[in-house]
Amino acid sequence: MSDAYIALADGRVVKGRGRAPGRARGELVFTTAYTGYEESLTDPSYEEQVLTFSYPLIGNYGVRRERFESSRVHPRAALAREFTDDVAKWLSAEGVPAIDHLDTRDLVTTVREEGAMKCGIAVGDDVTPEDAREELEKCEGMSDHTDIGSQVTVPEARHYEGDGPTVALIDCGAKGSIVSSLRERGADVHVLPYDASEETVADIDPDVLFISNGPGDPANFGNAQSLVEAFVEDDNVAVAGICLGQQIVARAVGGDTEKMAFGHRGVNQPVRDLESGQVVMTTQNHGYTVADPGNLDVTQVNVNDDTAEGLASEELNVITRQYHPEANPGPNDSLGFFDDVLELGETAGKRRIIAD
C-alpha cells in the first residue's frame, strides 16, 4: 500500500490508500451501479474521467475478460471505499491509479451538490498533496478535449458478416455489447472510425447509419454529425443512435445539447415511454443531454428529471436512446430497441429495392 491524494477543484485534498500507483487528472464523476465494475471500467464513455464507485465493495466477483466492453480501462483513475486485490492488481497492470479507504459518500455528495469537477490524482510511496494539486492544475474540462474520439475509436474499419440489414456503426467509443447486440440479431455490421468519410459510408450502402455512445461533448464530434446530416434525408437509410449518438443525431437535425450538472451514471435510472406510459429501468452513463430535439419528437423521458431519453421521427426514419439498451451492466428491460432499429433498416432496405 502507498500514499494517495485527490485534489479537488473546490480546494480540498482528500487522502486515501493507494492500491495502484500513478498520477492522473480528469473530471470526477460517480456511478451508482452496484454490479458491473468490469463493464464500467472498460466503457469508453469514461475516457478522461475519474470514476468513483458509490457501492462500497468493488471486486467481489473477480475480474473476467469476457465481461469487458473494450480492450482497456478508460477512466484515468478509479476510486472506491474498498477495492479487492483482484481489481487493484488489474488496475495496476493497466497503469490506472486506484485509491480506496475513501469516504465515497462524501465524494458523491460533493459531486451532486457542486457538479462534476476537475480533480488531480497522485498515488505512490513518495507522493504529496502538492503532486495531486499539480495534476489538477493541468486538468482540462471535458469540452476542451476536442479530439477525444480519436482516443476511443477503432483504428480501421471492421466487418462482421450477417444476413440481416446492413448497419454502418460509427464508432465514437462504442461498447462491445452494442456490436454484439446487433450481430446476435443477424445484422451485417460495419464498424467504422469516428471520422469515416461520407464516401466510405455510401460505399457500404447501409440500411442503418448507427451513431454509437462515446465520451465527451457531442459538439466535438462534427464529422459524425455531418454524416447524419448527409444521410438523414435519404428515405433508404434509417438513422439510430445510443447515448452520445442520440445527442449527435439531435444536433444534426437542428437540435442542441447541454452539459448536465453531474450526469446520469448507474443501472437503475427510470425511463417513461410517453406513448404507453410504461416505465423501464435502464443503464446510463452520460454527462451531456439533449436540450432541444430539433426536428425529432421526444418519445421517452427520465422519470427523475424529465430529460430526453428517447427521440424519433417517422418522416426521417430516426430512432435514438439516451440510455444503454444493451444493458451491460444493468437490467434487460430495453433490449427491444435493437429489434426496432433493424426493423427500420429492413423497411429502408425494401424501399431501396423498389427504387432500384
Provide the annotated active-site residues.
243, 324, 326
Residues within the annotated binding site?
45, 214, 216, 244, 247, 285, 287-288
Binding residues for L-glutamine: 45, 214, 216, 244, 247, 285, 287-288
Nearest to 64 by CA among 46, 45, 38: 38
With helix as H, strand as E and coil as C, how does 176-197 read?
HHHHHHHHHCCCEEEEEECCCC
d(CA 352, CA 356): 6
122, 128 in Cβ contact below 8 A?
A: yes
* End-to-end Cα spacing for the chain: 67
Grid cell digits, residue 341: 432499429
Cα 101 to Cα 93: distance, rounded to the nearest angstrom: 20
The amino acid at residue 98 is: A
With beta carbons less than 8 A apart as the criterion, state whether 169 and 148 touch: no
Exposure string of 137-147, with b = 16+ CB inside 10 Å and e = fewer, is eebeebeebee
Cα gap 227→149, rounded to integer Å: 15
C-alpha cell at 243: 447515448
Cell numbers standing for residue 354 = 423498389
